Structure 1
C-alpha cells in the first residue's frame, strides 16, 4: 500500500520522560532517536569453561563501556542514495577505529543509523571518543543526545471545527486526508537553547522543512517570560490555552461560604468534617512550613484522622498534586483542599474528595480555619461545567516569549487547547484506564497538527511555510465572547508573547486569501543574517552552503509576524505576500501601531491580478517615544471577508535583557 505523506511532525514536551524513541514515515523520512540499550544475557550450557570466561569478559567490557559513556549523535550532513546496509557497515568501521579494531565493541556501541532525513548515526561514546569522531572526514558535528522531557472531545467543538457526516468540511474536499500520515516525536529540551546547530531538533527539523515537512513543536510548560522553547523559524511553536469546559468540585465551609476548585475526584464525603491546615498537623519530624506542603510522611495521623486538610502546592512541575492527596489519605484524612500558588488550573484525579484553589481563595479558607473554634467543610464530587469562565485563556504554565535566541522571530507562533484535555489513554500505561485528562503543551500540539493535516489535505502542493502562514494569519486574538484573550493566572490581557498570532480559526484558515511563503534558501540567508559563517551554517544544513554577499536582516525573513527588537530612530522591514485566493483582488493595509511607535506601510493597497502572484511591501517603524519594554500592535490586510493579520512586536534599543 502506498501513502502520500502529510509531512507534519509534532514535537511536544511535558513532565513525563521518554528517553529514546523511533518512528518512520514510510518511503519518505525517518525521524529517530536511539532505542534503549538493554543488556541481555542469554545463559545456556556450553562444553567449555574457557568459553564462559570469554563471554563474561565481553559482558564486563560492554558494561564498562555503558557506565563510562553516553549516547552521542554523529551528524554527517544531507542524506545520499547509499544503501542502508552499506551505511551501517561504514558506521561500524568508523566506530571500530575507536575501539582498537574490535568490531564487537563497535557494534555494541552503535545504537542507530540515520539515512532518510539526513546522514549520520548514534552511538555510545566517551567524551574523548566523541572528540576524535568530530575530527574525522565527512563528520559535520558530534553532539550529545540530550535528555528530553515530554511536553499529550470538547476541544474540537470549542475551536469551531465543523465537519459533516462524511467527515468533510463543507465547501472543501479533504479526501486526500485518507492518505495522510502524521508522526509525533514526544520530546523537548530542558535547557535554554544556545544556538541552532547544536540542537538536534533544530537540525532535524531544518532537513524536514527542506523536504516539504512542517514540524510542529510545543512551546514548553515553564510559564515564565522568555521561557519559550523550540525557537527555529522553520518550526511551528505552539502554546497552550483553555477551553470553555472545566472539571470542578464545589465545597462549603461551616460559615456557609461556597467555593469551586478544579478536580477530577469522584469520591464522596459522608458528612461535613473538621478542616485543618497541614501546617498544624506536622508530626514533629517536619517543620510546620514543610508539612504545609503535605510532604510524604509529614502529617501526624492523630491530628489528621477524619479531617479535611488544607495543603499547599508550590507550582513546581515536579511536585505531584495526586501524591499530596495520597499523603492525606494515608494519614487518615477524608478530604483535601490544595492551594496552588501558581494558580495553573490543573485538574487532578485525587485519592480523596479534593479541590484545587488559587492563592486568594486559599487565604480566605485559611482565614476561616484560623479564626474559627471548630471549622468544618464539605467537598462534593467533581462535575463538568461548561461556559463558567471566559475562554480561550492562555494557560499559566504555557511558556512565553520573547525569543531569547533570535529576538527577531516571535515565539510562540500560536496557542491551542492544552488545559485539562480529555483523550484516549494507552493500555501500556494502565490497562484499566481507557481515557485520561492531562494538561500541557503536549495537548495543544496534536490539536494544531490535526488542523495542519486538514490544510495539507485541501492544498497538498502548498509549502510548509504557506500552511503555517494560513494558520497564523487567520488566527483570532479574541475569546468566544469577542473580548481580548486573557492570560492566567492574573487574568491580564494577553500579548503576542503569550499567544503568538492568536487562537486558530478553523472557519477561516482554509481560505487565507494570502500567504507568506518561505523557501529553504531563505532560512539559509536567515542563519547568515544572525552571524553564522560557512562552518556553522553547514552544521545546520549538512551541505556545502555558504554565506555569500550581504544577507538581509533577521527581521526581513518572510515570517507571518514582524518583530523589531532594537528600534533606533527609523527601521524598515520587507515582506512578500502570495495570492492564493481570487485571481483579481485588492487588499488594503490596516495598522494598529504599537504604543510610542509610528508605523507606515508602502504600498497601502496590494492589487493582485492572478492566482500565485507575489507582491512585496515595506513596513516602516519610527520611534515617537522612548519606552523601556516591548510594545505590541498589528498589521492586517483586508479584502472583503478576507483578513490576513500579523502581530507587530517592537522594543526600543536597550542594553537590558528581557
Structure 2
C-alpha cells in the first residue's frame, strides 16, 4: 500500500513488524523445533513533528541494547549444554505437553524483555513495544525452540534442552519439575549362555511367543544376520504401534518389525552409520541373545563352534539405536524409552550403563520405572566392573539387573619361549603362526605416546593405548587387573588388536 505525505519534513525509516510467524513447537515426532519468520519491513514515514534530541537518544540506546543482546545471545549459546528435565507421569494431551515444554523453556530464557522497561526511554509507547518485541521474538526464535532437543510425551513427561547452568537451576525450581541433570554419555557393557543357565534347546515352544516384542536399546542391528531371518514368521502382532525408520541400505522384516535411531547432538563421527544398522556389533550380539533365531554351527572364526540361539527365538525384535562410536547419551536413551513403551513392546533389553546416580537422575532407572508402570519389564546389565564394592549399576528395584560371575569355558593359548618353557595365557589366536618364533614385548613398554597414552594404560591393551610400530608382529605380554584382590597377574596374550 502506498503512503503519501503532505509535510515537507524529511523522511526516516522506522522498523515495523509487517509479518512474523513463529511456531514455538516441535515436529510430529517431538524431535525438533520449527521456526519460520519473515524479516521486518522498513516503512518510510515522516519524522514525528515533536521529535526531540531525547527521542533520538532513546532510539540510539535501544539499538545499542539490541546489539548487546545479540552479542550476549551468541556468548550464552557457547555456554549451553544439554540438560534433561524430568517431569514424571505423562500428560493426556500430547499437544499441550509440547506447548508446556516450549513455554517453560521460554520462561527461563526470557531475560531480554526484563532488561528493557519502556519507562527508561522517552519515546512513543507503541513504537517502543514494536521494536522491543521484535528484538525479543527474533532473539528467542534463535534460542528457545532451537534449544529444545527432545520432548518426551508419549510415555512420560519431560524434555531435553540446551541450557546454561543458571537456566538449569531456574528450571529445577519450576512447578512440576522432578529433576534436572546434565546429559551424560554412557558406555556399552556366547553361544553357551542358555546351556550354561540350564535352558534346554528341546523345550516345547508355544505359538504365543511369536507375539512377544522385545525392544532392544543398543548400538543397532545387522539385519542380514541369520539370527534375524524372518523365514516362517507371519505379520507383525496387531498391538505393534511402532515404525521402521526409512534409511539407506536398511529394511525391516517380520522378525525385526521396528527400527529407529537417535542422535540428539546431530553430530556424527566419520564411521558412524546414520541408520539403525549396527556399526559396533554390540547391539547385534545382545539382540541375538534375547530373541535370535536358532543358528547351527555358529562360531568365531572356527572357535567355540555351537548352536547360537536367543532366549525366545520366535519373538519379534524392535531396535532402538542409541549408541554410537562415542557412547550412548542420556537424552537418546530416554527418547528411546519414551517410544518403546508407547510402541507396544513387551520387554526392554538394555545393556548400557554409566556411573551410579540417584534414581531421579538416572535415565535408565527413569525409563524402566515408566516401563514398569505400563506393564513392561526392563532387563538391564549390572555393569562390566567388579568384583568389588560399589561396582554395580542399573540396580533400580523395578527392573531386572543381570550379571555373570563366571562362564563355563575359557580360551587359552600356549606360548613357547626361546628356552623351550611353555606358558599359558588367555587369548584367541585364529591366524597361522607357521611354527615360527616371534619377538615378545611387554605392553607397558609400548605406550602410544602420540595420543598421550602411558604404560599404566598400554599394559592393559586399552583401546588405542599401544604403539602399533612397537608391537606389530610381536607377542604382547599384558597385565590383567584383579580388583577384588588388588593384585596384578601377568598373563601372556597373543595380539588381538594388531595382525602380525
Normalising to structure 1: TM-score of the pair? 0.35
- When you count helix as a share of all residues, which structure comes out higher? 2
Higher relative contact order (CA 8 A, sep 6+): 1
Larger of the two Rg values belongs to structure: 2
